[in-house]
């Protein structure tokens, strides 16, 4: 006879364990258990069948894999947690006795230091694995770098996050790894490509942050502790991969004055023993030793001994120094009917030096930190700003003639609303010193743009027209570079004619005309009511003044007018019937009915000897005809699709129905957006016509 198995000892019941049992098994407190699970990357699991796991109970319980908890039994951090708990008991006992000095000594010398180096190596066996998990780490650290200090978030943690984030930004600037950026409601999104991995992180805006009381900063602090260790390892590996010394030199005085990126001085590992290169705020100077110079001369001699263009065998040409070999090849079609091949985009080197030849000046109202980071990441070496924004600027003089672009974000104000500008001081040569007083005066030869111009340029990989982003101009739509418009969706960059369906514009014009006619009818009705009220009031006034109105006098006049009006209306209706004109518009009848009526008109005209005048084609009738043809075409396509669906199995038919529901919903949303845009454009055209 086979041995009976006890219930709850195998299968799903053995694979899962509750959190209470896990804490008892590890013999640690619940906060330490949560902290350990975050460090090790162990998260709760949801079993498929809770009854089998928890002996028939379906109560809300947190479960973990049994193998994960078994794996935690051998973690060295468990001993550190127990040592910390023992020291905490001693500190509490000393404070209870009033021995404050002993408590401070115990806390300073006996609290164990927790290091997470071995956990980083376990969770990320390769460097690519660490880069793939860097998105959440950067977003969390940039968030804490912008938080104010509080009892829950100490200033030491904020300073550490700021230093690591600025070091990472310096690497992105030095390696030109930044690719795209987007301004959203949550903050600024950045995407960098590092060693083939796309890293996307979010940086919040620098507003005054108010931390609520419902946020568990202990859990977030545990993540920050792990992420700071991870980013420290990653920064070290990234710096050494491009020949930079890590950690870079940090100028605390410049950082106190708001230098941020300018507070770090990058050092490059030289070729020789004494070779060294330093970079301060994006500007680099190189100091080479004699041995390094000898190596360079040796390489140059070898290059000079190679065959030049005239010495190339078989008539082959060697590209010279004057030729640009970085130009991208273009694919041209050989035959007239050949396929059009997609052309390659700009190279990474061209995009990385997008702002290299320019000198930028940031006005006081613009966000200095993101603009400085983006401009330097795309090749700009000279970025200046007002001295009130912090230290590290290329220039703080707004009138510097070397400035080519100035970024402003102020509305265009009329001249009478601006304050009076004091006269500029004169120098010894009696020449007025040039000084910029924007928006009253601008420097000649300088381009003034709004901040969105920088983001749109880097997302499209080219310099856009600056006049579209002039101060006070209506900016083009700022769209996410990661969302590509699909077929049928609304695209703000395309004109309405390129994306609307057939007959949609005509239907919109008809609706607008119908609304205008309705408004005119309402106005006419209100005028009739006003005239009727005036007549009644006039008759009442005559009676009040003592005037006499004979009985039936007013009624006879009114009845006579009504009878004449009725006769005129009957004669008019008879004439309309004779002329073959129907009150029903032609756009609301079928094609066969319209042809029959036209034939009837021709017969009547032939019987009376009149010449039938061709119908007047108005814009309204033309739009109605186009809309009618488009609706008929769509109806035929829908009928053909319904016939095709009848041949499908029931399961696929239901799936197709769900797909069509989503497409119809998307089309309605896109049509609503196009209608809104058309109304706005129509209102703007009317306003421009009036002005």
Q: How far is CA 148 from the centre of its chain?
A: 26
Question: Can you tell me the distance from the alpha carbon of 611 to that of 215, in angstroms, rounded to the nearest whole number?
Answer: 86
Query: Mean pLDDT by 10-residue block, N- to C-terminus, for the chain (691 residues)?
Result: 70 86 92 93 88 79 91 90 90 90 87 90 94 95 91 91 95 94 94 94 88 82 94 94 92 89 85 46 43 49 47 41 47 55 59 89 93 94 91 89 91 65 56 56 86 94 92 88 78 72 64 60 55 47 42 41 48 45 48 74 77 64 70 80 83 85 83 82 82 70
Q: How far apart are CA 530 and CA 146, in angstroms?
A: 66
- Distances in Å between the Cα of 196 and the Cα atoms of 128, 134, 193, 390 are 9, 13, 6, 35
Of the chain, the percentage scoring pLDDT greater than 90 comes to: 32
Long-range contacts of 194-201 (CB under 8 A, 24+ apart): 194/131, 194/238, 195/127, 195/128, 195/131, 195/241, 196/128, 197/128, 197/131, 197/132, 199/131, 199/134, 199/135, 199/138, 200/135, 201/134, 201/135, 201/138, 201/139, 201/142
- CA-closest candidate to residue 453, choices 436, 473, 439: 473
CB 454 within 8 A of CB 374: yes
Please answer whether residues 376 and 176 qualify as being in contact, where contact means their C-beta atoms are separated by less than 8 angstroms. Answer: no
CATH 3.40.50.10190 intervals, the chain: 356-413+438-483
Per residue in 55-106, pLDDT (tens digit) is: 777 788 899 999 999 999 989 999 999 998 899 899 999 999 888 888 888 8
447 DSSP assignment: E
R_g over Cα of the chain: 40
**Predicted pLDDT at 158:** 93
Instruction: Return the DSSP state at 399.
Output: T
pLDDT at 191: 95
3-state secondary structure string across 574-609: HHHHHHCCCCCCHHHCCHHHHHHHHHHHHHHHHHHC
**What is the number of H-type helices and E-type strands within the chain?**
23, 13
Q: How much is the pLDDT for 268? A: 84
What's the pLDDT at 443?
Answer: 82
Give the whole-angstrom CA distance, residue 300 versus residue 597: 93
pTM of the shown model: 0.69
The DSSP symbol for 401 reads: T
Helix (H) or strand (E) segment spanning residue 297 = helix 290-305
The per-residue pLDDT of the chain, averaged, comes to: 76
The reported pLDDT for the residue numbered 505 is 63
Tokens 């690497």 correspond to what residue?
171
Query: Which pLDDT score, from 0 to 100, does residue 595 have?
Result: 74
pLDDT digits (tens, 9 = 90+) for 524-561: 555 545 554 444 444 444 434 444 444 344 434 344 44
For residue range 657-687, list pLDDT tens digits in order: 888 888 888 888 888 888 888 888 888 888 8
C-alpha triplet 29, 34, 36: angle, nearest 5°: 90
CB 204 within 8 A of CB 187: yes
- Is CATH 3.40.50.10190 the right assignment for the domain spanning 356-413+438-483? yes
pLDDT at 359: 93
For 19-41, give the DSSP string: HHHHHHHHT--HHHHHHHHHHHT
pLDDT of amino acid 674: 82
Q: What CA–CA distance (Å, rounded) separates 469 from 457?
A: 11
| Cis before 491? omega within 30 | no
How confident is the model at residue 56, as a pLDDT? Answer: 74
């Amino acid at each position: 006879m086979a041995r009976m198995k006890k219930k709850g000892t195998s299968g799903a019941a053995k694979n899962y364990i509750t959190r209470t049992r896990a804490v008892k098994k590890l013999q640690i407190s619940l906060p330490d258990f949560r902290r350990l699970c975050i460090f090790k990357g162990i998260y709760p699991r949801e079993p498929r069948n809770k009854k089998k796991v928890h002996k028939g109970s379906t109560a809300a319980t947190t479960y973990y894999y049994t193998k994960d908890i078994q794996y935690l039994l051998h973690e060295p951090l468990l001993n550190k947690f127990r040592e910390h708990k023992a020291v905490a008991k001693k500190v509490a006992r000393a404070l209870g006795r009033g021995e404050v000095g002993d408590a401070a000594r115990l806390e300073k010398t006996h609290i164990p230091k927790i290091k997470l180096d071995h956990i980083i190596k376990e969770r990320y066996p390769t460097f690519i694995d660490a880069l793939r998990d860097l998105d959440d780490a950067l977003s969390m650290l940039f968030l804490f770098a912008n938080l104010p200090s509080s009892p829950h978030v100490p200033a030491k943690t904020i300073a550490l996050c700021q230093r690591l984030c600025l070091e990472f930004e310096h690497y992105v600037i030095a390696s030109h790894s930044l690719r795209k950026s987007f301004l959203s409601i949550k903050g600024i999104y950045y995407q960098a490509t590092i060693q083939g991995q796309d890293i996307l992180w979010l940086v919040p805006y620098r507003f005054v942050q108010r931390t609520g009381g419902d946020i568990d900063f202990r859990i977030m602090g545990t993540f920050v502790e792990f992420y700071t260790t991870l980013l420290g390892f990653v920064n070290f590996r990234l710096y050494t991969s491009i020949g930079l010394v890590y950690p870079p030199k940090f100028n605390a005085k410049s950082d106190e004055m708001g230098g941020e990126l300018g507070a770090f001085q990058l050092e490059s590992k030289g070729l020789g023993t004494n070779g060294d290169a330093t970079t301060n705020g994006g500007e680099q100077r190189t100091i080479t030793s004699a041995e390094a110079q000898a190596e360079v001369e040796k390489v140059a001699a070898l290059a000079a001994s190679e065959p030049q263009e005239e010495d190339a065998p078989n008539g082959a040409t060697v590209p010279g120094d004057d030729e640009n070999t970085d130009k991208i090849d273009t694919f041209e079609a050989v035959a007239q009917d050949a396929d059009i091949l997609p052309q390659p985009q700009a190279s990474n080197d061209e995009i990385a030096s997008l702002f290299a030849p320019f000198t930028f000046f940031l006005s006081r109202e613009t966000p200095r930190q993101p603009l400085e980071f983006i401009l330097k990441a795309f090749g700009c070496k000279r970025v200046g700003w007002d001295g009130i924004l912090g230290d590290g600027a290329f220039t703080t003089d707004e009138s510097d003639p070397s400035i080519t672009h100035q970024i402003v974000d102020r509305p265009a104000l009329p001249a009478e609303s601006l304050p009076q500008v004091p006269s500029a001081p004169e120098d010894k040569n009696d020449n007025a010193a040039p000084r910029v007083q924007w928006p009253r005066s601008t420097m000649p030869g300088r381009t003034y743009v709004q901040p969105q111009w920088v983001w749109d340029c880097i997302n499209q990989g080219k310099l856009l027209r600056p006049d579209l982003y002039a101060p006070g101009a209506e900016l083009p739509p700022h769209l996410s570079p990661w969302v590509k418009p699909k077929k049928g969706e609304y695209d703000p960059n395309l004109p309405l004619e390129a994306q609307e369906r057939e007959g949609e514009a005509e239907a919109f014009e008809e609706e607008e005309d119908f609304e205008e006619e309705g408004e005119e009818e309402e106005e006419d009705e209100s005028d009739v009511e006003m005239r009727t009220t005036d007549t009644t009031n006039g008759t009442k006034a005559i009676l009040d003044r003592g005037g006499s109105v004979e009985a039936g006098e007013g009624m006879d006049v009114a009845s006579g007018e009504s009878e004449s009006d009725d006769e005129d209306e009957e004669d008019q209706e008879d004439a309309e019937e004779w002329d073959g004109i129907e009150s029903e518009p032609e756009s609301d009848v079928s094609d066969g009915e319209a042809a029959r009526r036209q034939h009837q008109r021709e017969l009547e005209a032939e019987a009376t000897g009149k010449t039938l005048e061709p119908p007047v084609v108005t814009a309204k009738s033309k739009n109605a005809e186009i809309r009618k043809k488009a609706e008929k075409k769509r109806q035929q396509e829908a009928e053909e699709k319904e016939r095709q669906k009848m041949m499908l199995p029931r399961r696929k038919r239901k799936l197709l129905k769900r797909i069509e529901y989503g497409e119809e919903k998307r089309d309605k949303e896109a049509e609503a957006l196009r209608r809104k845009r058309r109304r706005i454009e129509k209102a703007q055209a009317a306003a421009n016509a009036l002005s």
